[in-house]
Structure 1
């Protein structure tokens, strides 16, 4: 019976826990991806995004604070699946010409997942009358979008051609 009483506030908090968990997992995966990358510019992009992700986690912690909840993650099967695919690529294509193209593709899947989550959370924060939270979430959404564009450019500028 109680499940029918869940509100947008509950959904917002639940999704916040989901992306918080996801960001922590991504933070762990990025150094491995940077180490696996063969092209120096891809290594640099992963290292830069690692630093950004630390800031994104801090922003999420501020959003938790704004809604009076303690920062807490909840296992997110979606991100675990995407990161597992990335691990498989790193293992199966280690040393291969297609490795970097595979890393870019895996990282783009992560970025697109994050963009979907942050876009939704920003909209819900606005709907719930949380302008400060919406602003913090939008900052992260802009960073994720920019990272997605950088990855696309790296792929287009030659990592995909090298793999062919």
Structure 2
């Protein structure tokens, strides 16, 4: 395997992660109780669709590269954990805290994936790819920051007293 092949494999992993996330974010936004969290998840769903489109543009820059050549097992696991939380706590007062915790882990995974892809693309002098990938990374960082603000703003303590009273 050479660096270009590793790069394409990394892009396939990100593409798989993002396409899995499109379906999952839709489910999360419906389960959220907080209006702010519903809105943030809905906005990130729209951004994620745009990220999938940008990845398709990146693949178009590389003849013979197929975006569907790999399944991201990490995202598959993160989605599975999120679905387990929805099944277990979907009607409880702490569902929003669960959603924020799961979404934060997902964002950090995506930030790491895009950062790595950008580093490889930079090494290969794929300037057009770098610009497209940086746009997605910027969105992932903003989504992570939004989730951190929600966590710091008390979403983890909402419903705490009601849950403790049961």
Scaled by the length of structure 1, what TM-score is found? 0.94
CA contact (8 A) 1:34 1:42 kept: yes
Specify the alignment match of 1:64 in structure 2: 59
Aligned 1:79-98 pairs, distance under 5 A: 79-98=75-94
Question: Which position in structure 2 is the counterpart of 1:159?
Answer: 155
Partner Cα separation in structure 1 for residue 17 and residue 148 of structure 2: 22
- TM (norm. structure 2) is 0.93
The yes-or-no answer on 1:17 pairing with 2:12 is yes
Unaligned runs of 5+ in 1: 1-5
Runs of 4+ in 1 over 4 A off after TM superposition: none
Tell me the secondary structure at the aligned position of residue 162 of structure 1.
coil
Coordinate RMSD, CA, aligned: 1.0
Task: Give me the whole-angstrom Cα distance separating, in 2, the residues matched to 1:42 and 1:13.
Answer: 34
1:23-42 counterparts in 2 under 5 A? 23-42=18-37
For residues 128-161 of structure 1, the C-alpha deviation after alignment (integer angstroms, 9 at most, x for no partner) is 0101101111110010000000011111112112
> 1 CA distance for matches of 2:102 and 2:145?
14
User: 1:163 Cα deviation (Å)?
Assistant: 4.4
Distance in 1 (CA, whole Å) between partners of 2:114 and 2:86 is 27
Aligned to 1:3: none
Residues 78-129 of structure 1, C-alpha deviation per residue, up to 9 Å, x if partnerless?
1000111100111111221111001000001110000000000001000001
Deviation at 1:71, TM superposition (A): 3.0
2: CA distance, partners of 1:163 / 1:25: 30
Between the aligned partners of 1:79 and 1:73, the Cα distance in structure 2 is 15
Other-structure match for 1:115:
111
Equivalent residue in structure 1 for 2:143, among 144, 147, 156: 147
Structure 1 segment 38-53 matched on structure 2, within 5 A: 38-53=33-48
Shift of 1:77: 1.0
Runs (5+) with no aligned partner, structure 2:
161-166
Structure 2 CA distance, aligned partners of 1:135 and 1:152?
26
